[in-house]
Structures are given as structure tokens and as C-alpha cells.
Amino acid sequence: MLAELAKQGKLPPVEERLPKEPMVIPVTGEIGQYGGTWHRCAVGPGDAGIINSRLSYECLVRWTPDGKGVIPNVAKGYEISKDATEITFFLREGMRWSDGEPFTAADFLFWYQDVLLNTDLTPTLPKWLRDPAEDQPCTLEKVDDYTIKFKFRSSYGLFIQMLAGPSALGLTDYPAHYLKQFHPNYVDKEELQEKTKEAGFDNWWELFGNKHSWQNPEHPHIWPWLPKRVPPDVPIVCERNPYYWKVDPEGNQLPYIDKVQFDVVENADLLNLKAVAGEIDMQFRHILWTNYPIFIENAEKGGYRVMKWTLAEGSNFLLRPNHCHLNAAMRALMQNKDFRVALSLGIKRDEINELAYMGFGTPRQASVIPQYPYFKEEHARRWADHDPEQANQILDGIGLTQRDGEGFRLRLDGQPLTIVIEYAPVFGPWRDCVYMISDQWKEIGIRAIQKEEGRTLYTQRGNAGEWDIGVWTMDRCFTPLIEPEWFMPGFTRHGAHLWNEYYTTAGKSGEEPQEYVKELWQLYDRIKAALPEELFKLADEFFELSSRNIPNIGTVGVLPHVGVVKNNFRNVPEEAISDWLQLTPGNTNVEQYFIKQA
């Protein structure tokens, strides 16, 4: 595909498109063949946005496929000072953006000075880019065209792992030569206002965000495939990057596959039907293990194989009590650890596993997965057994002794104690789980009402603190210290929006949290700053404190991630850690996948 363009003089020869030291990607099975289209499905147009993360994963460094280590990626190497206050990265000389322009330290400086430190574009500086001890922004220094240095006042031992995760994707996707034309530091004010108005926006930062979107085909990237046909047009199509900077062990430029095509369907059920019919080349996303028997039964007819990766979910169905409930009486209950313990003891996890998960999972509490070095069985088992007698005793003990005519408990203010469980049915049999738990809680006098809604509405209500209890999947349980959302209330807005505001603004606004939450925050700051020899003890304290206070309630986890792979679709590993923090399948080197021709 590209050789023909080079022959026509529309592209430089491949040796001029590669950096001096390209990244060499090992192949999983064999050296691949060029060509073909990777057919996938997306649940809605926005779902194809994984092209900027899970199907690219181009951070400065990245996790190994097994998730056990961090290796160079965009950077050809890095050095960490002995006190972990300075991290120096060496870039690849001759590396280029997809439009052929040089990719250099100047692009990182633009991101740092003009995006990160610009309050219109970044109103609140992300916590992971602040000093762990002093809460000050990191400093980024351009040493030369191909060397950058991050500096902190205090030690930040966890920073290199942070840079391997999804939060750091944006650092490598700000082409200064393109985006400067939409930034007031580089464009005349009147000219920028005119551009903003013509594009239908009121503010320049809205225009900037629109031009920086993955749905803008004009935006240069360093990804293996580039968006060419974008929403509202369907199918969504991405084509190979002629300046991609990775090669296979024989020096062949990657990726092997010419195009990635997303057919857009309304829901996961329709997506799974297309998979059963053999219309998807390779996909794990939205493939439901509840359909596993159907996939096996139709594999030969559909020309595919069924694969199972290790899913880093501590609990697929996680109950998230709203610690900052807008109603004072409900807030007092949700913040009461004993109340959360009683709710947990009222759940029949074995029943949920057998009926909703077909026995594929493990009944357990909200906890990291066993493959994580800091896993403790006691955390996975704490308050995970069904014990309605103890649950009823606990609820009586906190004063919830009054009941209505149907036997349901009243709140301490005399109003009916009704818990609305809100969920968007996206990553599991959550509808079944909600109905089962609602029925099980009757035994302990708790009335629960199910409320299913779209993902967008669910997210909006969570951010506004309007849930009683929300439901999500407890992913990120293999390398949880990068984003310890499930273990530390206030890390995100969901379930603790006012605490999150307090956390991200260093106490300037929001609401001061409970004492154990502040202890978790302090421990986490120490963990970020810790040197390797200090990490184990601090992490052990962190997970023990979280477990004892049960901020979220787990049900069934440690499930396999089921995927379908066509028989001619090669170099897909049989085993891998599958998680958002590893940006799966990006961590399996999707650029070396190929379609074998007969």
C-alpha cells in the first residue's frame, strides 16, 4: 500500500520515514504479511474512540504484555535519579508525526507550557502530575531536541508506572506545529476569534478541543492507524500511518494491517451476534462470556477460535455507595461502615455467580486479583459470606429498628429506607445482578429499586452525586496503585463527588472527608513518593485500611475475558492481562497482528 505511494513520489522511501532507532516489536508467532482490513464492531460511534488508546497505546513507556514491568516505547530509554526526583527520557531521533513533521522535545514543551499550565485548557492540574509531598506541579525541561526531563521537589518512585498508564497517553499526542494555529499564544486574537466563530464555538478552548479530538482526521498522530472516516459517517475507518516508527525483528515497518474498520451497532447483544456469525476478525471488547457456549458451538462454522485472557477485575459487578449523598439521612447511612458491612452480608454471591455468571467467576469482596503481588485472601473474603442474621443484628444496632407495614426498614428520620441502584448495562449481566440483590436484601429489611439508564446519563448523575448506589466494573486490579479508584473514595467524583473536589483542589473547595479517607490519601501520597524498597509496606497498609472500611461492595470477580479471533488472524497471544491500565489489547502489540492470506 505504501510502497506504491513511494514509487509514485507521494511518499518518501520507507528508510526516510523511520527514525534512526525504530522500536523493534517482537512478533507473537511469526513475521507477518502486509494488507487486509481488521473488522471490528463498536457500540455507538464514540466507542470507536479506542483508536486513541487501546488500539494505539503510545506512551513514553508502556507495560509489558504480561503487565509485570515497564519498558521504553516512544522514548528509546530513560534514567531515574537515585532519589527519584528527576526522570530523563531520550527520544528517537528522526521520528515523525503522521504528516511527516519531526516529533521532538518541542512537542512535549508545547503540551507542558501551553496545555497543562493553561487554566482554560486545564482548570485543575491532575494529581499524578503534582509533587507527592508538596502538591506543586511537576517541571518539564527540554534538555535538547531529543531529551526531556521531568523534575519534582520530592521523590516520586511511582511516576514511571504512571507514565505507562492511560493518564499519560495525552503527553505524546500534542503536535505543536498543528495545534499552535488554534492557541492564543501563537495566533492573533481577532484571527482566533474568527476561527472559533466559524467553527460554531463561543470560546477558543472549545475550538482547540475539537481540533484535538480523535474525530478530526486532519490531526497528526504517532499511532499505527489514523482516523480517516469518522462519525457521523459509518462505518468508521482508520488507515495505516505511513510514518509509523516501529518495525518487526526483520526490520519491516509496522503495522502489517492496512485498515481497521468499526461497524457501529446499537448494543452489545447485536455485536455478539455478529461475532457468532464470523463477521468480526478479532475482538474482546463487549464480547460477553455469557455467550461462551454459543461461541464454542459456532466456532467452526464462523471460522474463528475462542480465547480467554486474564481479566483484571476484582469484581465485575461493584456496588458503589454514594458517600456524599445529597440527602443528609442517606449520607449518614452511606458513610456508616456498619451499614455497608450489613449490605455486603446480605448478598448471596454464590447464587449470583451460578445464575448470572454461569459459574465462571469467584464470589468475593472488592479486592485486587490474586496475580497482584500485594493480594491477601482475607481482603477477598472479608464480609463476603452470606449472613443475614448478622446483617440484621448490625442494622438493628445502628438504630434501624422501625419497619413499615411490608417489613422494610425506616430511616433514622422516620422516612422509608429505599435504595435506588442505578446502572448502565454495559460490561456484564448487571440487570440480572441488580434484580437478584434487590430480592436478597428483602431478607434484611432493605427495599431496593432498580434503575437502568444510558451510560451518559449514569455518568452525569454520578458526577453530580445523585445516586444512592451506583454500579460499575471493578477493573484496574492488577496494577491498582496507578489509579486506586476502588480503594480510595474521592479519587474520582463517582460515589464521593464532594470529597473528590476537596482532594483535587487541596481542600480549597468540596467537603472534608472522613478520617479513614484522609488516611488513605496520605498513604497514597507516600506510596507515590516511595522508593522500591519502601513500597511493599506502604501498599500493604493502604489495602488493609481500605479493606477494613469497605468503601465499595464487591460480588463476583476474577472472570476470564472472552474474545473471538478469526483463524486467519494471527500473532494474537493466547495469554495476556486484560485491563484498562494496560490498555488492552494495546499491551499485546496490536501493530504486529496480521491477516494470513491463503
**Residue 579 and residue 504 in one domain:** no
**Residue 481 and residue 595 in one domain:** no
Return the sign of the alpha-carbon dihedral for residues 573, 427, 545, 515: positive
Q: Alpha-carbon distance 304 to 300, whole Å?
A: 7
**Residue 251 and residue 144 in one domain:** no
Return the sign of the alpha-carbon dihedral for residues 423, 464, 173, 312: negative
Q: Is the pLDDT of residue 306 over 90?
A: yes
Residues 6+ apart with CB under 8 A from 122: 115, 116
pLDDT recorded at residue 288: 87
pLDDT digits 0-9 by tens, 26-47: 999 999 999 999 999 999 898 9
Q: Alpha-carbon distance 364 to 378, whole Å?
A: 10
Range of the domain at 112: 59-172
Q: Is 203 a domain residue? A: no
For range 513-537, the mean pLDDT: 92
Domain count, the chain: 3
pLDDT bin (cut points 50, 70, 90) of residue 506 is confident
Of 568, 565, 589, which Cα lies nearest the Cα of 36?
568
pLDDT bin (cut points 50, 70, 90) of residue 532 is confident
**Residue 52 and residue 66 in one domain:** no
**Residue 553 and residue 572 in one domain:** no
| Peptide linkage before 388 cis (omega within 30 of 0) | no
pLDDT bin (cut points 50, 70, 90) of residue 580 is very high
Q: Is the pLDDT of residue 69 over 90?
A: no
Q: What is the CATH number of the domain that holds 596?
A: 3.40.190.10
Q: Is the pLDDT of residue 598 over 80?
A: no
pLDDT bin (cut points 50, 70, 90) of residue 426 is confident
Task: Answer yes or no: pTM beyond 0.95.
Answer: no
Of 307, 285, 259, 305, which Cα lies nearest the Cα of 38?
259
For range 250-274, the mean pLDDT: 96
**Residue 70 and residue 156 in one domain:** yes
Query: Could you say which of 115, 140, 172 is where a domain stops?
Result: 172
For range 405-423, the mean pLDDT: 96
**Residue 292 and residue 159 in one domain:** no
**Residue 66 and residue 133 in one domain:** yes
**Residue 224 and residue 297 in one domain:** yes
Q: Is 298 a domain residue? A: yes
**Residue 122 and residue 219 in one domain:** no
For range 386-404, the mean pLDDT: 98
pLDDT digits 0-9 by tens, 126-147: 989 999 888 889 999 999 999 9
**Residue 350 and residue 482 in one domain:** yes
Of 209, 184, 405, 428, which Cα lies nearest the Cα of 317?
428
Q: Is 493 a domain residue? A: yes
pLDDT recorded at residue 268: 87
pLDDT recorded at residue 562: 95
For range 5-27, the mean pLDDT: 96
Q: Is 380 a domain residue? A: yes
Q: Is 573 a domain residue? A: yes
Question: To the nearest whole percent, how much of the chain has pLDDT over 90?
Answer: 91
Residue 263: φ, ψ to 5°: -80, 135
DSSP run (H or E) holding 344? helix 337-345
pLDDT recorded at residue 470: 98
Q: Is the pLDDT of residue 267 over 90?
A: no
Q: Is 253 a domain residue? A: yes
Q: With contact defined as beta carbons under 8 Å apart, do 517 and 552 qualify?
A: no
pLDDT digits 0-9 by tens, 184-235: 999 999 999 999 999 999 999 999 999 999 999 999 999 999 999 999 999 9
Q: Is the pLDDT of residue 391 over 90?
A: yes
Q: Is 198 a domain residue? A: no
pLDDT recorded at residue 455: 85
pLDDT bin (cut points 50, 70, 90) of residue 373 is confident
pLDDT digits 0-9 by tens, 175-187: 999 999 999 999 9
Q: What is the CATH number of the domain that holds 553?
A: 3.10.105.10
Calculate the average pLDDT of the chain.
Answer: 95
Query: Could you say which of 172, 195, 222 is where a domain stops?
Result: 172
pLDDT recorded at residue 134: 83
**Residue 20 and residue 115 in one domain:** no
Q: Is the pLDDT of residue 256 over 80?
A: yes
Q: What is the CATH number of the domain that holds 165?
A: 3.90.76.10
Q: Is the pLDDT of residue 454 over 90?
A: no
How many other C-beta atoms are found inside a 10 Å radius of the C-beta of residue 86? Answer: 16
Q: Is 452 a domain residue? A: no
